[in-house]
Amino acid sequence: MNQQPRWILIVFALLLLLPACPAQPPLAVAPSQTIAAADLLAEIESGEPLNYDNAAISGLLDLSHLDRPITQTVKITNSRFLGPANFEGVTFSEPLDMRGCAFMQNVSFAKSHFMGDAKFAGARFLGQADYGAATFSGLASFMSARFQNDTSFGSVQFNGDAIFLDAGFAKDVDYNFAEFFRLGSFGQAHFENVSFLETQFGGHATFQNAIFRGNATFAATHFGSDVVFRSAHFASGSTFGLSSFGGLADFAGVDFKKTAYFGGAKFTDLAYFVDARFERDLILEESRLYSMQLDNVSFAKNSKINLNSADFTKFVVHWMVIEDLMEYNGAAYLALVKNYKNLEWFDDSDECYYQYRKISQDLEPWGWAKISDIVSWLSCGYGVRVSYTIFWCLFSILFFGVIFWAGKGMNKFEIEGMELPGFPGVRPSKKVSLTDALYFSIAMFTTSQAPVNTYPVGVYRHLAMLEGILGWFFLGLFVVVLSAVLIR
């Protein structure tokens, strides 16, 4: 009796899930007609407009031998190219529409020229796809296209907007030496291994929410305007070495799972890395940074930051975030000290300078220079820790006071207001208390002179002299360090 309601619930749940299932690709739809590649070629040569939907083109389609441009509109949508397709060197004078098509084998548009819009949105490329050295004069739309094999857009010239929004690349793809003169949109795209070696982006470029599963190479890439990588995910190595950023570089919320390499990169505007996450190292060696903002950035425990030979005007990240991550380089540390002073983050400046001096002291061989550094470290924290000097002042007073008291190294006497006839007007000495000893130590430390009614005896006279010398040293040091803090 209760089996039927259970089946009803299961069927109802499946019906609810159906809208969430992805639409079937064109491969799963039966074609409405089949066209031989030779017949399609004859139609193209006739100059008549082409308009096919949900067709199947069988055999090898080779237009590479055409000696004239294709002057008619070509619209072949949601169709299958069952054999190889070769459009190498073809000029399309009118718009080309191949949205939703499936290329079952290799296809080549190398050296082709698209005078009008070229629409490949939703297309599927199961074989290799070659667009090398092609020219797109109008819109190039590859929105939601899927490339299942190796793909090349090397040396392609995009004169209009290039839309690769939500495109997917299952294997290697390269845009080496390509030129984007207007918008380059790769938002939400999925890449395996991708290379943008020496690619030129003249307009706005966006890779927002893009996923890079393999190696992502942007070596020597030029971004002439703003570029957005916000919330992108780099699962493997990412290389931006020698790249240049002419506008805003937005890396906010980007997740770098492996080393992020920006060696030799040049940022002429704001490099915005707020909320970025680094699981490995951040390499900025020999980079040029106008302003880099790293608010709320997070680093893994074993991450390192390399700023060797980097030149930066503003590096906005608090020292406590990166203090355990810095690769030691004296010039980089001193540049950070200057940076924090310019930002008026004086506590960060002091902490950075302190760590720099401490590491350099540890690396220095034994000698007078190292001994001098140790004295500077202990006495005043290399000039940035006034608390160290205060501690030594109080410790010296207490230390000598206890010695004078415990060792009975001082005497105390009192002068009466009237002398007795024929007898010095002096009372017998009294036992010195700890309070008296501390009072005597304070006087010796601050003025190098004992109070009028006490004096050291025996070897303790030398200790009193030593305390006076230390007093002059520490008090003078205290004034210097305190003045440096107050002047800021």
3-state secondary structure (DSSP) of residue 481: helix
Give me 168's structure tokens.
């997917």
The β-bridge relationship of strands 249-250 and 227-228 is: parallel
Measured distance between the N- and C-terminal CA atoms of the chain, rounded to whole angstroms: 86
Angle between helical axes of 386-406 and 460-487 (0-180°, round to 10): 160
Q: Could you tell me which of 408, 398, 455, 450 has the C-alpha nearest to residue 433?
A: 408
3-state secondary structure (DSSP) of residue 410: strand
| Bridge partners (DSSP) listed for residue 454 | 412
What is the reported pLDDT for 301? 86
Q: List phi, psi (to 5°) of 402.
A: -65, -40
- How is domain 386-487 classified at the architecture level of CATH? Orthogonal Bundle (1.10)
What letter represents residue 307's amino acid? Answer: L
Q: What burial class does residue 312 get, using C-beta atoms within 10 Å of its C-beta: 0-12 exposed, 13-18 middle, 19+ buried?
A: buried
Residue written as token pair 């997740």: 255
What is the reported pLDDT for 482? 80
Give me 206's structure tokens.
């966006």
DSSP assignments along 93-162, one per residue: SS-EE-TT-EE-S-EE-TT-EESS-EE-TT-EE-S-EE-TT-EESS-EE-TT-EE-S-EE-TT-EE-S-E
Q: List phi, psi (to 5°) of 396.
A: -65, -45
What is the reported pLDDT for 5? 44
DSSP assignments along 183-202, one per residue: -EE-TT-EESSEE-TT-EE-
The count of other CB atoms within 10 Å of the CB of residue 136 is 28
Residue written as token pair 């070495």: 241
3-state secondary structure (DSSP) of residue 249: strand
Q: Which residues 6+ apart lie within 8 Å of 78 measured at CB?
A: 26, 29, 53, 54, 99, 100, 101
Contact (CB, 8 A) for 49 and 71: no
pLDDT digit of tens for each residue in the chain (488 aa)? 344 444 343 333 433 333 333 333 444 456 778 999 999 999 998 888 899 999 999 999 999 988 899 999 999 999 999 999 999 999 999 999 999 999 999 999 999 999 999 999 999 999 999 999 999 999 999 999 999 999 999 999 999 999 999 999 999 999 999 999 999 999 999 999 999 999 999 999 999 999 999 999 999 999 999 999 999 999 998 999 999 999 999 999 999 999 999 999 999 999 999 999 999 999 999 999 999 999 899 999 889 999 999 999 899 999 999 999 999 989 999 999 999 999 989 989 999 999 998 988 888 888 888 888 888 888 888 888 888 889 999 999 999 989 888 888 787 765 544 444 444 555 545 567 888 888 888 888 888 777 767 778 888 888 888 988 888 888 888 888 787 777 76
What letter represents residue 258's amino acid? Answer: K
Q: What is the pTM of this model?
A: 0.79
3-state secondary structure (DSSP) of residue 400: helix
DSSP assignments along 259-321, one per residue: -EE-TT-EEEEEEE-TT-EESS-EE-TT-EEEEEE-TT-EE-TT--EE-TT-EEEEEE--HHH
What residue spans define the domains of the chain? Answer: 386-487
Give the largest Cα separation in the chain, rounded. Answer: 146
